[in-house]
Amino acid sequence: MFRPLPLTALLLAGSLAAGAPARAGSDDPFATEAGIRPPPCVQPAATAALGLADVVDLALCNNPQTREAWAAARVQAGAVGVARAAWLPGLNATLGSSRVRSAVEDRATNNATLNSGSLAVSWLLYDFGVREATLESARQLLAAAIATQDSTTQAVFLAALQAFYQVHALQAAVDAAEQSEKSARESLAAAEARYRAGSATPADRLQAQTALSQATLVRIRADGELKNARGTLANAVGLDAHRPPALAPLAASAPPAGYERDVDALIAEARSRRPDLAAAEAQAQAARATVDATRAAHLPTISLSAAPGWQDNGGLTTHSSSIGVSVNIPLFSGFGQTYRVRTAEAQAEQRNAQRDRLRLQVALDVWKAYQTLLTATQSLRSTADLLAAAEQSERVALGRYRAGVGSILDLLSAQSALASARQQRVQSAYDWNVSRATLAQSVGALDAGILPVLTGEPPRPATGKP
């Protein structure tokens, strides 16, 4: 019967008790995935039409990018577990059984069964910081992966939001094109009436017909762009492009007064909240830890080993055991260690430069998004006045032409200006909605909490489980 040495048993029991986590027996004994959140997946209620919050929920739940980022974070969590495992001893058992047959000429044949077993315990006691640096590098890379997951979630969030507003903008563009087409048809009818009455030339009718054909072409193109936008939206929420979801009407919104903020404060907030900058900082720290681990890899290591054994040879039982401490001192590796350290240092400098470059890019992103929002806000207010003036001008021109005191060129010019004003109004509304979300994303604050700000609606309770 195999009996391990008491010293070995105590050593093994003590080390496992010190290193065993509370979740022993699970598939994550070190709880390395405790800080990783699965992709948010809140299924919207079954309604006939989806609002902005519903579209965002579907996109975050169904888009493969969120699952890919989650899996990448779990991969790095596994690397942290591997690094932590280096602190615990290793245990290997070997069992063997063989049948030995020996025969000597003119003598009887001897048959014997040989059974053996051994247990080997090895424990790295001290390595001058290699394990600490390796574990720190793995932890920082895990933090970078989690930050990258947050950044990916915000990118999917923004893409779904842009697709949502794009569909509404193009639907408004189609409506505007239909109104322009209706106005052009009314102009053609007025030109034909004056032509029959003898107060207009054939050129008036031809020009009105040309304007109607152009308005029809604009409407056809806008309708095609709307269908493409609906396909893009369906793809963003994880549906087939030919099966886009129905959308709820977009609530009317207007820029609030005093919307401007201190851009310096926005940049400072972005540098503290942007997940991609946090990921770059964690990667830089991981690279520095890798330098420490690479330097310490050429230093001596101290290990403890114990190996009890047992053997039964035809009824003759023997026991053996050994315990000892070994010191491994690397002397020369052909300058390979020197160049490994140089490589790690260069990689750390590269990560630092990438972090500094992203830090500058964050300021530029916030500045551009802020200025774009200011421009969109002013444009939204201006296009409202432009549209009102263009509608009044078109009504006056049409009335003058019907009364026989205006020319067809004045009427067509007024209708063209009205069509342009409608399109500019649609585009400015789209730009304003998207620029608000873009600014939030550039600051790192694009999450579900901002949806009531964007939609002007009160927060709604979740309808599913995350």
Q: Is residue 42 part of a domain?
A: no
Taking the C-alpha atoms of residue 154 and residue 142, their distance in angstroms, rounded to an integer, is: 19
Under 8 Å between Cβ of 94 and 118:
yes
Residue given tokens 């409202």 in the structure block: 384
Together in a domain, 422 and 368: yes
Residues 448 and 308 both lie in one domain: no
Residues 116 and 196 occupy one common structural domain: no
Give the Cα separation of 100 and 138 in Å (integer). 51
Give the residue-averaged pLDDT of 321-340. Answer: 89
Same domain, 347 and 429: yes
Domain that holds residue 99: 89-126+299-332
Rounded to an integer, the average pLDDT of 276-280 is 95
Instruction: State the average pLDDT for the chain.
Output: 85
Lowest average pLDDT, out of 108-117, 204-213, 380-389, 398-407, goes to 108-117
Q: How confident is the model at residue 13 (pLDDT cuts 50, 70, 90)?
A: very low
Same domain? For 144 and 103 the reply is no
- Same domain for 216 and 304, yes or no, is no
pLDDT > 70 fraction of the chain, expressed in percent and rounded = 86
Residues 98 and 159 placed together within one structural domain of the fold: no
Q: Worst-scoring range by mean pLDDT, 15-19, 74-78, 231-235, 355-359? A: 15-19
Same domain, 449 and 313: no
Structure tokens at 149: 């997951």
pLDDT tens across 373-418, in order? 999 999 998 999 999 999 999 999 999 998 888 898 999 999 999 9
- Cα angle for residues 373, 378, 381 (degrees, 5° grid): 125
pLDDT, residue 415, reads: 92
- For the record, the structure tokens of 19 come out as 């290193």
What's the confidence (pLDDT) of residue 460? 54
Interior CA angle at 340 toward 338 and 345, to 5°? Answer: 95
In a domain, 231, yes or no: yes
- Whether residues 231 and 285 share a domain: the answer is yes
Q: How confident is the model at residue 357 (pLDDT cuts 50, 70, 90)?
A: very high
**Which of the pair, 175 or 316, is modelled with greater confidence?**
175
Mapped onto helix, strand or coil, the DSSP state of residue 244 is coil
* CA dihedral angle for residue 190, residue 195, residue 196, residue 197, rounded to 10 degrees: 90
Same domain? 277 vs 175: yes
Distances in whole angstroms, Cα of residue 236 to Cα of each of 49, 64, 229, 244, 431? 16, 10, 10, 10, 19
What does the angle CA 355 – CA 360 – CA 362 come to, to the nearest 5 degrees?
A: 90
Out of 314, 332, 350, a domain closes at 332
User: The domain spanning residue 230 has which CATH number?
Assistant: 1.20.1600.10
Is residue 140 assigned to a domain? Answer: yes
Question: Do 262 and 234 share a structural domain?
Answer: yes
Is residue 134 located within the same domain as residue 269? yes
- CA distances in angstroms from 148 to 62, 71, 362, 440, 455, listed in the order given: 18, 11, 15, 17, 27
> Is residue 365 over pLDDT 90?
yes
Least confident range from 25-34, 201-210, 360-369: namely 25-34
Whole-number pLDDT of residue 466: 35
pLDDT exceeds 50 at position 25: no
pLDDT tens for each residue of 255-271: 766 556 678 888 999 99
Domain boundary among 332, 348, 382: 332
Average pLDDT over residues 65-69: 92
CA angle 245, 250, 254 (to 5 degrees): 155
| Mean pLDDT of the 446-456 span | 75
Q: Which region among 5-14, 174-183, 271-280, 423-432 has the lowest average model confidence (pLDDT)?
A: 5-14
Residue 382 is assigned to a structural domain of this protein: yes
For residue 251, pLDDT beyond 80: no
CA pair distance 206, 184, nearest whole angstrom:
12
**In-domain check, residue 38:** no
| pLDDT at residue 4, rounded to an integer | 38
pTM: 0.79
- Would you say residue 304 lies in a domain? yes
Domain assignment present for residue 26? The answer is no
At 399, give phi and psi (nearest 5°).
-65, -40
- Kindly state whether residue 118 falls inside one of the protein's structural domains: yes
Q: What span, in angstroms and rounded, lies between the C-alpha atoms of 308 and 325?
A: 15
pLDDT at position 3 over 80: no
Work out the end-to-end distance of the chain between its first and last CA atoms, rounded to an integer number of angstroms: 54
What residues contact residue 283 under an 8 Å CB cut-off, 6+ apart? Answer: 140, 141, 144, 351, 354, 355
Q: Are 4 and 425 in contact (CB under 8 A)?
A: no
Of 310, 332, 354, the residue at which a domain comes to its end is 332
Would you say the C-alpha torsion 269, 275, 279, 285 has a positive or negative sign?
positive
Domain count, the chain: 2
Query: What would the mean pLDDT of 129-141 be, rounded to a whole number?
Result: 94
CATH number, residue 326: 2.20.200.10
What is the tens place of the pLDDT at every residue in 152-192?
999 999 999 999 999 999 999 999 999 999 999 999 999 98
pLDDT bin (cut points 50, 70, 90) of residue 369 is: very high
